[in-house]
Amino acid sequence: MSDGEFTLMGVINVTPDSFSDGGRYLNPEAAVAHGVRLEAEGAAILDVGGESTRPGAAEVTAEEELRRVLPVIEALGAARVRARVSIDTSKAAVAAAAIDAGASMVNDVTALRGDPHMAEVVADAGVDCCLMHMLGNPRTMQDDPRYDDVVAEVKAFLEARLAVATAAGIAEERILLDPGIGFGKTVEHNLELLARLDELGELGRPVVVGTSNKSFLGRLTGRALGERLPATIASCVLAYERGARVFRVHEVAPVADALSVAAATVAAWTTRPTNTTR
Ligand code: HH2
């Protein structure tokens, strides 16, 4: 990925209870139609998930997760979708089966801490991997999260997980890093992470952000779910300017337009002559 480019990761939640699109894509045909649309709108990655990570969500078994995601991954392959498929899971068995079915990326919100076999599965398959920061677990993460310096702590965590991943044999160039917006963070923590995202870029890996429709945007704007697209766009544009290059979003086309303008504007700024006189 060259510096000015951005990658859109469209979300397909095959769950009954995801906070934003829960229940909509449980049927594989609906999920695949949605994937085809997201790709046509500009998604280069389709992130398929079978377990909600919203605060307080119920855990599901690997069998149930596989029952939800495998038909969708297989059908995306049969539909000859060119976008890469990412599996959003923290279970090694789910990742392994999804890779066998055609996924070429693992998006693990536990950054390889959720399952002792996950690093090995990713390393052996040679697929890409997104490592995300989360404080605690989805059941407890929003219970009064505290940090001394949220950016420094998230950065140190991601640096440590990057080291664990490479030590386990995952090639460094296959790793992406994500601050985990909303995962054990207050509104202020999320804003500080976005404002200082460039510090995470110092780790030398592409930075992924997932702000799409999240509750901090609702808190800032007073908007209900389903009314947070303008707020999502603002956060993605700002994150781009601070160096994020991969954007995990529920609506692709409007974010793609906004990021095209952001990327062109940032490029115009960085290529300006430095010694102009008026
Ligand atoms: N956010 C969610 C899920 N997975 N993965 C990464 N890398 N980054 C994120 O910010 C992120 C993620 C939560 O959003 P969603 O999938 O829409 O909801 P749910 O977890 O309820 O299914």
- Contact status, residue 210 vs residue 194, Cβ threshold 8 Å: no
How many whole angstroms from 233 Cα to the centroid of ligand 1?
A: 17
Catalytic residue among 214, 228, 242, 245: 214
Distance between CA atoms of residues 69 and 35, nearest Å = 13
Query: How far does residue 248's CA lie from ligand 1's centre (Å)?
Result: 8
Q: Is residue 169 part of a domain?
A: yes
What gap in Å lies between CA 52 and CA 22, rounded to an integer?
8
Q: How far apart are CA 23 and CA 25, in angstroms?
A: 6
Instruction: Examine residue 52 and state whether it is found in any structural domain, yes or no.
Output: yes
What pLDDT shows up at residue 277? Answer: 54
> Would you say residue 23 has pLDDT above 50?
yes
Q: Which residue has the higher pLDDT, 3 or 132?
A: 132
Going by pLDDT thresholds of 50, 70 and 90, the confidence category of residue 19 is confident
Q: Show the domain range for 117.
A: 7-270
- From atom 18 of ligand 1, which residue's Cα is the shortest distance away? 18
Q: Is residue 224 a part of any domain in this protein?
A: yes
Q: Is the pLDDT of residue 273 over 80?
A: no
Q: Is the pLDDT of residue 81 over 60?
A: yes
38-64 mean pLDDT? 93
Q: Report the distance separating Cα 240 and Cα 61, nearest Å.
A: 36
Mean pLDDT of the chain: 94
Distance 200 CA to ligand 1 centre (A): 19
Ligand 1, atom nearest to 181 Cα: 10
Provide the number of structural domains found in the chain.
Answer: 1
Assess contact for 186 and 143: CB atoms under 8 A. Answer: no
- Nearest residue (by CA) to ligand 1, atom 10, is 210
pLDDT exceeds cutoff 70 at 53: yes
In a domain, 276, yes or no: no
Q: How confident is the model at residue 275 (pLDDT cuts 50, 70, 90)?
A: low
Q: What pairing do the DSSP bridges indicate for beta strands 45-49 and 208-209?
A: unpaired
d(CA 140, CA 23) in angstroms, rounded, equals 23
Q: Does residue 121 lie within any of the structural domains?
A: yes
Q: Specify if 251 maps to a domain.
A: yes
CA 37 to chain centre: 19
Dump pLDDT digits (tens) for 197-242: 999 999 999 999 999 999 999 999 999 999 999 999 999 999 999 9
Please give the distance, rounded to the nearest whole angstrom, from the Cα atom of residue 274 to the centre of ligand 1.
41
pLDDT of residue 2: 40
Indicate the residue type of 129: C
Catalytic residue, chosen from 68, 91, 228, 248, is: 248
pLDDT score at 4: 62
- Domain assignment present for residue 2? The answer is no
The model's confidence at residue 121, banded by pLDDT at 50, 70 and 90, is very high
User: Does residue 189 belong to any structural domain of this protein?
Assistant: yes
Which CATH number covers residue 136?
A: 3.20.20.20
What is the pLDDT, as a whole number, of residue 276?
Answer: 56
What sign does the dihedral 71-77-82-86 (CA atoms) show?
positive
Query: What residue's CA is closest to ligand 1, atom 15?
Result: 18
In ligand 1, the atom with minimum distance to the C-alpha of 51 is 22
Q: Is position 248 annotated as part of the catalytic site?
A: yes
Can you give the pLDDT at residue 17?
A: 85
Q: Quick check: 32 pLDDT over 70? A: yes
214 is catalytic: yes
* Dist CA 175 CA 213 (whole Å): 25
pLDDT bin (cut points 50, 70, 90) of residue 137 is confident
- The set of long-range contacts for 231-238, using a CB threshold of 8 Å and a minimum separation of 24, is 233/258, 235/194, 235/209, 235/211, 236/209, 236/211, 236/262, 237/261, 237/262, 238/194, 238/195
CA distance 129 to 68: 21
